[in-house]
Chain A
Amino acid sequence: MQPPRILAFVFSVLAILFLISIVFPKEGIRIREHVTLQFLTMEEILGADSVHYADISGILSSSVTISDSAYLAMLEKTPEEAAVRDTLRANEDSLKGLIHPIEYPEGDSTLLYPFFRKMRRVNRSGNKLRIMHYGDSQIEGDRMTSFIRYKLQDQFGGSGIGIQPLVQLYGYQLSLRHTASGNWQRYTAFGKTDSTLEHNRYGALGCFARFSPYPDSLDTDTHTYEAWITFEQSLRTYYLTRMFKSCRIYYGNATQPVYFEVYTDGELHDADFLEASEGLQIKSWAFEESPEQLSFQFKTTCSPDFYGIALDHDYGLSVDNVPMRGSAGLVFSKMDGELLKQMYDSLNVKLLLLQFGGNVVPYISDNYTYYEKWFYRELTRLKTLVPDLSIIVIGVADMSMKEKDQFVTYPNLENIRDALRNAAFRSDCAFWDMYSAMGGRNSMPSWVFAQPPLATSDFVHFNERGARVLAEMFYNALIHDYNSYVSSVR
């Protein structure tokens, strides 16, 4: 075989492919649902018909600084603090042009002032205040929350990871190693709900856990159940997040007393009984020094419903990460309002961040007024339960679907964003448009293909680094408005 013959061979292959690309229908040949044969078009070969991914170079240049300074903040509290501050301040300056503002109904930028007033007071008086960050899998594993928490606690005081469920879906998170015995059963108000459950008292996390089955009235057997949970500090998280001085367990529906033992760093710290009581109960412990490992052992004939365990400082801000995998945020109306209110009051919750919408995106429809209506219902319910509660709805992030070999934004995504914004504004809540903040249409591919990457190849989830970048952007927007409030009262 001489090269001219090889050339002829290669030429004929490419020529045939070229001919096919001319005659092949541009929209492809549909074989059955979800199966369409595609082929290159002339325009694609000439490069004229390619999707342009959003330019995120501004965001990229800031991401490196954010990562570096965040890493320093994980090491220790004080020595590098000045350096961290400097990098962050410099970074904030460079980000000014990048601040993507929080939006308010009718442009009323004083909407969050009541909350800002409380937050400012915390800074001065050493009170306590709590922000709960609810969201879907986008915030799982403390991904966005940890950075927001670190920045706020650094500025307003406070420490600790906040309230956690007794058992996590998966216990390995950025901020805490969480392990538990295998006999815990988790009940959730979102995702797959247990239809045999006879009540809806899920608590503020939208889920509770117990380690014995619900008693059968015919069952006279008095079996004793035992369970344990352990928390270990994670060195990967911010210094402030690791430190806590108080621990509170929230439980209810306790028909029997529960014997417990609490161990700090392997040493017995306390042993007693959790009181039997039908309503919400809180058991708390205080620590002089933050333990590196905290474990609980429980023993009883019938487990109560455990709503959560809060690891906080004695004062300052707490920011909780409450991921609800698979949820579109339509859960609050399904849960017992009285218990929800009791917990919010006891935890002193004054601001909710609700970050949902991503799970609605794959179900493409022309009209999302239904979602707006349902989400509005959730917001009004929360506002009715706790009238002085402020809420910021964080809109959906960009998500891509594939068009041939390119990634494009879901056609319905902006409609869902608008539905969330409308619902927020109608119920007097603020809105932060994450989709625009990250670059708008076709920005997700830019996040996925960035070096180093900021999102994962499902074109839905941010990775740790990307989540940190977005969290920083949100924090900047929030603190910008807080600063406006402060200068307005001066």
Chain B
Amino acid sequence: MSAQSVRSFLADIFFYNQDAPLLFTRLYFWGFLLVTLAVYSIIYKQRGMRNSYLFIISLFFYYKTSGFFFLLLVFSTISDYLIGLGIYRFRSKAWKKVMVTLSVIINLGVLSYFKYAYFFTDAFNRVFNTDLEAVNYLALWANQVSGSHFDASVILLPVGISFFTFQTISYAVDVYRGKCQPVRNIIDFGFYVSFFPQLVAGPIVRASEFVPQLYAKYSLTRQEFGFALWMIMKGLFKKMVLGDYIAVNFIDRVFDIPTLYTGFENLMALYGYSLQVYCDFSGYTDIAIGVALFFGFRLPRNFNSPYKAENLGDFWRRWHMSLSSWLKDYLYIPIGGNRKGKLRTNINLMVTMLLGGLWHGADMKFIIWGGLNGIGLLVYKFWKKISPYENRKNIFVHAWKIFLTFNFITFTRIWFRADDMDRVRAMFFQLWHSMDLRVVPEVLLSYKLVFSIMIFGYILHWWPSRWKDSYMNLFIRIPHWVKVIIIVILVFLIYQSQTSDLQPFIYFQF
């Protein structure tokens, strides 16, 4: 190895590279985890050192994922730390309120600036016919201070900002509500804000759930360790074997240029996307839950077989649970919840869903997506009062409800996944005008591997939880060396799926 390659090897390890952010799906992460664990094994008994260590490691992790935006994390940490103390110290209710409002303003301000600057500027320009432009003040400032050359006309979105700002809001509110004590040590608090497994994609951890763990001694049972491994394996499998393959070889292409594909292919891409988005997202949080357990920390469950939901309300209790419950406790209930009459309840629900939609991305199509889900919830609320089937236990009724809910969710995902409104229209056009059912056998045959994986994925999803739990329990019970072998085989399998040939582009026409 030459000096040059050693240098670039070391740079790869320690410096941020925009093209290779640190993700759970990279080999680098597992090397990083090994080294982190090695030091952790020495210091885990000293609580103060443990928390400081994990804080520094988490900042490094964030730097490797998002570059210098880790300073934002430091800023969030300092401001909410001080606010937390403030809320606790102030005697008067009014001042407490002022402080908690300040936290909400700062956090939502940061989030709005980085995530919604373009969206709001654009909307403002349209309404008032102005010609304002969003400017990256952070880059301007950095350029002035350090002579750097960041592009000030583009505001980049820091990874995970939607998650950690919500987390710090929950802290301020929980302290305000007296649900948890403020964290006295700023390092401890920084660790809560930035704990690396859940930093990038959740679950969103409530202060009241996590802060007590900061002071607890390390503990992990053998069962929990087995469970952690199971979650990591499950997550990697879902994300890398199921999600990635169908995305790269089918779904992304259709959503990119819907008009190159028949209506039937568009439809299949939609169903595929419902599986893929679940596999990607839940897979990632599964891994986070498992990795956090290695360090003795318990993160909340985030998904509960969402497509088994019987209705839309049920779905939102099973899908991204940490967000749904966050929105309920910190948005829906504070604006009145169901305490102010029927009309207000419905309005509150709708507002929550619209803002929840906007949280997912700064685009009108996410608001539409949230709105459709809101309408769906309202319609169901009305329907369940008059439906003769609501309380039937019949298996067909049960299956029908699941089918309906799943299809509605899949339908709304057109707005969630398509890159812009125009592609939404293109998809509808294809679904409506170019269904071309004569090509179905040919399509099925040509994409047999993609569709087999999709079917397999859905079967796994709908497999009874009881049975799945029994496999998990079996895995937990087997000796460690067998677990090692199983994991090695799984990694080998994952590598095969990642290196499989590209599905060639196929033309269907009549």
Contact = CB atoms under 8 A, between A and B. Distances in A.
Interface stretch (A13-21, A104-112, A270-278, A426-434): A13-21
Interface stretch (B28-36, B90-98, B107-115, B182-190): B28-36
Contact of A34 (B221, B484, B501): B501
A172 B484 contact: no
B260 interface: yes
A456 B488 contact: no
A192 B260 CA distance: 17
Contacts of B46: none
B310 interface: no
Contacts of A54: none
Contact of B34 (A7, A172, A404, A459): A7
B498 to A, nearest CB: 5
A48 B253 contact: no
Contacts of B487: 13
A285 B156 CA distance: 52
B434 A401 contact: no
Contacts of B79: none
20 contacts: A1-B225, A3-B218, A7-B34, A7-B37, A13-B491, A14-B31, A20-B488, A38-B499, A141-B257, A141-B259, A141-B260, A172-B429, A326-B509, A401-B501, A402-B499, A402-B502, A405-B498, A456-B252, A463-B257, A464-B257
B430 A170 contact: yes
B248 A457 contact: yes
A16 B260 CA distance: 45
Interface of B, helix, strand, loop or mixed by DSSP: helix
A442 to B, nearest CB: 14
Contact of B433 (A2, A171, A362, A463): A171
Interface string B264-279: 0000000000000000
Contacts of B430: 170, 172
Chain A interface residue number, banded? 35 or more
Contacts of A155: none
A323 to B, nearest CB: 10
Interface in A121-158: 137, 140-141
B391 to A, nearest CB: 44
A209 to B, nearest CB: 12
B132 interface: no
Interface in A1-54: 1-4, 6-7, 9-14, 16-17, 20, 34, 37-40, 45-48
Contacts of A39: 492, 495
Among A179, A362, A457, chain B packs the most CB atoms within 10 A around the CB of A457
B431 to A, nearest CB: 11
A23 to B, nearest CB: 13
A352 interface: no
Contact of A6 (B225, B252, B425, B505): B225
B424 to A, nearest CB: 12
A3 B44 contact: yes
Given A13-B484, A191-B509, A48 B257 contact: no
A455 to B, nearest CB: 8
B220 interface: yes
A88 interface: no
The 9 A-B residue pairs whose C-beta atoms are closest, nearest first, are: A456-B256, A457-B252, A1-B225, A172-B429, A3-B41, A4-B41, A7-B37, A404-B499, A326-B507
Contacts of B1: 46, 48
A401 B502 contact: yes
B360 interface: no
Interface residues of B, number: 62
Interface in B1-44: 1, 5, 8-9, 12, 19, 27, 30-31, 33-34, 37-38, 40-41, 44
A377 interface: no
Interface in B475-505: 480, 483-484, 487-488, 491-492, 495-496, 498-505
Given A3-B44, A140-B259, 18 more contacts: A3-B40, A3-B41, A6-B37, A6-B294, A9-B484, A10-B34, A10-B294, A13-B491, A14-B34, A37-B496, A46-B1, A47-B12, A172-B430, A236-B422, A402-B499, A457-B247, A461-B253, A463-B257
A156 B455 CA distance: 55
Interface in A401-437: 401-402, 404-405, 407
Nearest to B501: A402
Contacts of B248: 457
Interface string A166-204: 000111110001010000001000011000000000000
A211 to B, nearest CB: 15
A46 B498 CA distance: 18
Contact of B259 (A38, A173, A402): A173
A407 B253 CA distance: 16
A48 B500 CA distance: 21
Contacts of A3: 37, 40-41, 44, 218, 294-296
A292 interface: no
A265 interface: no
